[in-house]
Amino acid sequence: MIRRYKVVVTTDTKGWVSVTVPALPGIHAEAHTREQALQFAQNVMAAHLKSVETSGGKIPESDIDAIVVDV
């Protein structure tokens, strides 16, 4: 099942890109590029959700319903 979560992307004054996920407290990733930070965050999120599932915990529902339209 695919879940979708909002991510917050910020860039500091030194150029580091930071990603957090409000629905998954503690999830944080940093990198030099936006793409890299998002990839790191996706990897951390997947590992976290697998761990929650394995331990019998409740996985948060998707907190976004997005439709992408290419024009």
| β-pair partners for 18 | 10, 30
C-alpha distance from residue 48 to each of 21, 32, 67, 69 (Å): 12, 23, 25, 30
- Strands of the sheet containing 17-20, edge to edge, are 8-11, 17-20, 28-31
**Number of other residues whose CB lies within 10 A of the CB of residue 37:** 22
* Amino acid 66: pLDDT: 67
**Tens digits of per-residue pLDDT, 53-71?**
999 999 988 887 766 678 8
CA distances from 30 to 4, 8, 58, 61 (A): 20, 12, 26, 24
Q: Which residues of the chain have pLDDT under 50?
A: none
> What pLDDT sits at residue 68?
67
